[in-house]
Structure 1
Amino acid sequence: MNWINNVVRPRIRSFLKPKDTGSENLWIKDPESGEMVFYRDLEANMWVVPNSNYHMKMKATDRLASFFDGGHYTKVAVPAVAQDPLKFRDSQKYTDRLKAQRQKTGTEDSVTVATGKLFGQEITAGVQDFDFMGGSLGMAAGSAIVTGLETAAKNKTPFVLFVASGGARMQEGILSLMQLPRTTVAVLRLREAGLPFIVVLTNPTTGGVTASYAMLGDIHLAEPGALIGFAGARVIEQTIREKLPKGFQRSEYLYDHGMVDMVVHRHDLRSTIGSLCGLLTKLPERPELAKGAPARPAAPKPVDTEAPNAPEAAHAE
């Protein structure tokens, strides 16, 4: 009986289990045009679809590697927090969900903080990864952002934050919402130190995150076509009983109405942020940044005008 359980059944499962072909053989579908794009081509193009210019979601490690000089950076240690303070359970235990997300993304939570150089200037940066429970804001993510802001103030560097989130994390309830004032206070302390806080809004940025640190930057950049807002478009339409304009809550619309300072293509973020950090910290002009592309390059039309409801308590899988 042991021989059947230990040898025969595992072999049968191995035959029936689909083989992992590896990321090199995958084709990814463009959400806008439906075009199939080769994985390697997309990765080499910083996850921007070449033909449609659609900006796909980007992992935290890929974002940091493409942002810092030579792809070199040092992660900042983040204080540990209680794993499951409310003993929350929905379709599965919160602790099990966290464990699964950590295995999938390779990160401890939705926010990663690192230090490095951008065109030779010391920079502190944070990246909010939508792959980790929809980039939802919990105690660990809030502590990471506060730590990043405090690190920037201590090292006297600008702080650049790439935001992508569905909102507060429902599994942590009121403790998640408490991160809104916590991060706000940390932003104010960085401002008192006279250091710049630059926010890059990526697709999507919604919910309580938009109601706090995502809109408290000295300068707000946005990637083309990014969904940015508090509540979803359908919720707003049902509330005001009016049809919203085309492209509502997309970065281009917000730029036209003064809520975003610049819409910047992903390929131009390094040079744009480098120039801004140099200007805001009064560093000498750098010739290599003068060749940067215009602040608002041509961008594709919005993916959809009927944006899904922005989950204030998101845990998107």
Structure 2
Amino acid sequence: MNWISNYVRPKINSLFSRREVPENLWTKCPECGTMLFHRELAENLNVCSNCDHHMAISPRDRFKSLFDTGIFTEVKVPEAVVDPLHFKDQKKYPDRLKAAQKATGEKEAMLVAEGEIGRTQVVAVAQDFSFMAGSMGMYVGNAILAAAERAVKLKRPLILFSAAGGARMQEGILSLMQMPRTTVAVQMLKEARLPYVVVLTHPTTGGVTASYAMLGDVQISEPNALICFAGPRVIEQTIREKLPEGFQRAEYLLDHGMLDRVTHRKSLREELITILRMLTNQPPAVKGDLPAPTPEPAVVATPAAPTAG
């Protein structure tokens, strides 16, 4: 037995050989190209620490950072008819749904939850752009209706985070019908005099922008989010003119009166707490995990009665 070949050489090779690094440990910022360690990126809410670019964040991760102590309860959404038009392009529609479910771990493109934000009870709903570009299908319509009905039943504000490429073409006219359905859901909230706050994230386009995403009592956006009906490239090709720099970005829309605020993702929770408490006629939120202590009444000492000598 040659101990040099069997022991020494493998030991030396293990010291100098290149170690394999998993690809999912680092994320490249699409804006500045900086390589970001996945844990640091997650702790920073998927915001680039170098250029402040806001990357996509899943509804579940967003809710964990939004609700008090990250605790929330999912609201059940009625099932939608699968593949009502028997649509097929390069793939069958059910196959696309299964692929999206496997890639995201979610059932559909929208998640509905309820819980507390700054000790204010709310219902929240968020779109997942990674699920078929957050496209608006019948399930999304059902989710918004379920969220609105839950908010009306419990008399709570509704917060909606939009992120969508528009209507889902695989559902055709049935997808477009979600525009009036979701508008009716928003009207239910207005008739119940409940706040409806919309947070538009990158990108929010198409029929989503033309319906529930622009009907909020307060319209907030994350920085540099693309918000439009038709994209800038389509408009340029149609009118054959060069559009202004930053056209249809959040800051441009804020300057032209279509938005109320452009808020950094790390400041969004505090912003929402302040707005919701104002709209529901509550006092300002108390900093910290516990509510303000109830002041105890002052105890006035009474002199002792004189005793007989």
Return the offset for 1:241.
2.1
Q: Which amino acid aligns with 2:175?
A: S
- 1:69 equivalent to 2:68? Answer yes
Letter in 2 for 1:230: F
Deviation at 1:167, TM superposition (A): 0.1
Distance 1:182 1:286 in 2: 34
**CA distances 1:66-101 after superposition (whole Å, capped 9, x unpaired):** 110000000000001111100001111111111111
Residue 3 of structure 2 is aligned to residue 21 of structure 1:
no
Aligned to 1:257: 256
Matched, 1:147 2:146: yes
Question: Structure 1 counterpart of 2:215, which letter?
Answer: L
SS in 2 for 1:81: coil
Q: Which runs of structure 2 are paired with 1:184-199 in the superposition (5 Å)? A: 184-199=183-198
Q: Secondary structure, in 3 states, of the residue corresponding to 2:115?
A: strand
2:273–2:285 CA contact under 8 A, matched in 1? no
1:47 aligns with 2:46: yes
TM-fit CA distance, 1:120 = 0.7
Aligned match of 1:16: none
Match of 2:3 in 1: none
| Superimposed CA distance per residue, residues 95-145 of structure 1 (whole angstroms, 9 cap, x where no aligned partner) | 111111111111111010000000111010001000100000000111001
1:145-176, Cα deviation, whole Å (9 max, x unpaired): 11111111111010000100000000000000
Distance 1:198 1:240 in 2: 34
Q: Equivalent residue for 1:89?
A: 88
**Counterpart Cα distance in 1 of 2:247 and 2:265:** 21
SS at match of 1:174: helix
- Offset, 1:272: 0.4
Partner of 2:7: none
Paired position in structure 2 for 1:203? 202
Q: CA deviation at 1:191?
A: 0.5
The whole-number CA distance in structure 1 between the counterparts of 2:233 and 2:201 is 21
Name the SS of the counterpart of 2:175 in structure 1: helix
1:226 match: 225
Instruction: Tell me which amino acid in the other structure corresponds to 1:201.
Output: L
Aligned equivalents of 2:178, 2:224: Cα separation in 1: 27
Q: Are 2:48 and 1:34 equivalent residues in the alignment?
A: no
The equivalent of 1:156 in structure 2 is 155
Q: Does the residue aligned with 1:288 lie in a helix, a strand or coil?
A: coil
Of all paired residues, the percent bearing the same amino acid is 55
Are residue 135 (structure 1) and residue 134 (structure 2) matched? yes
Match for 2:208: what amino acid? V
Q: CA deviation at 1:287?
A: 3.8
For residues 272 and 48 of structure 1, the distance between their equivalents in structure 2, rounded to whole angstroms, comes to 17
The structural deviation recorded for 1:20 is 9.7
Q: Which runs of 5+ in 2 are unaligned?
A: 1-19, 289-309
CA contact (8 A) 2:225 2:250 kept: yes
Q: Return the alpha-carbon distance in structure 1 between the equivalents of residues 251 and 206 of structure 2.
A: 19
Q: 1:184 to 1:245 in 2, by over 3 A?
A: same
Shift of 1:237: 1.2
Letter in 2 for 1:170: M
TM-score, with structure 1 as normaliser = 0.83
Q: Secondary structure at the match of 2:275?
A: helix
Equivalent position of 2:237 in the other structure: 238
CA distance in 2, matches of 1:270, 1:146: 24
Distance in 2, matches of 1:22 and 1:279, equals 45
Q: How many residues align?
A: 269
Q: Per the alignment, in what secondary structure is the counterpart of residue 201 of structure 2?
A: strand
Shift of 1:22: 6.9
Alpha-carbon distance, 1:288 to partner: 2.5
Residue correspondence of structure 1 range 101-120 to structure 2 within 5 A: 101-120=100-119
Letter in 1 for 2:278: L
Q: Which amino acid aligns with 1:157?
A: R
| Distance in 1 (alpha carbons) for counterparts of 2:285 and 2:164 | 34
Q: Secondary structure at the match of 2:142?
A: helix
Which 5+ residue runs of structure 1 have no aligned equivalent?
1-18, 290-317
- If asked which structure has higher relative contact order (CA below 8 Å, sep 6+), I would say 1
Conserved 8 A contact 2:164-2:203: yes
Alignment RMSD (CA, Å): 1.3
- The alpha-carbon deviation at position 229 of structure 1 amounts to 0.4
One-letter amino acid of the structure 2 residue matched with residue 211 of structure 1: A
In structure 1, C-alpha distance between the alignment counterparts of 2:148 and 2:285, rounded to whole Å: 26
2-structure distance, mates of 1:22, 1:238: 39
Cα distance in 2 for partners of 1:238, 1:193 equals 44
